[in-house]
Amino acid sequence: GDYLLMPETSIPQLVGESVHIIQGDSYYGEFTVAADGTLALPTVTVGDYQAGFNYVPECVNFTPRNSQFASGRKRRLAKMWVHVSNSGSYAVDGQRVPSYLIGEDTSAPPPRRTEGRMFKFLGRSQEQEHTISSPTPTPLTVLGWSGEVTI
């Protein structure tokens, strides 16, 4: 679960654990809780923080099959378009969309993305699957995906 962290409190129940720190829309990274239950946070704005364990939500798609024409043949998902809404950083099979794009203000919290983005893949397989995930504790709303399958 998440713990509310304020300047005068500590989290002794998590001593030695690695926790993720967020404040509002800002993600500060992963930190280890010291022996006295405190965290050595970088210089950040005053306010309440959340410290907790991160779980990585994953959405796994499978390449379409059951075509008589393609029965038993290896398929390749050459391209996949992923559509997200109001989401933070996300990744598709390790191809990460960064929190900040070139030219964005890095002193402000990372902007949320509502977009469609194309990802390309190599290789063929009978049962090809690709994973959409959020490697940081930020929102991820996948509206849908579409792909180009080659046989």
Residue 149, Cα to own-chain centre: how many angstroms?
A: 25
Rounded to an integer, the average pLDDT of 76-85 is: 88
pLDDT tens-digit map of 11-65: 788 888 888 887 776 777 788 888 888 877 766 566 677 777 877 777 887 665 5
Determine contact, residues 6/51, Cβ cutoff 8 Å: no
Is residue 8 scored above 60 in pLDDT? no
- Look at residues 22, 47, 48, 26 and name the one whose alpha carbon lies nearest to residue 110: 26
Buried/exposed code over 31-68 (b: 16+ C-beta within 10 A; e: otherwise): bebeeeebbeeeeeeeeebebbebeeeeeebebeeeee
Flag whether the pTM goes above 0.85.
no
Lowest mean pLDDT among 3-7, 21-25, 64-68, 78-82: 3-7
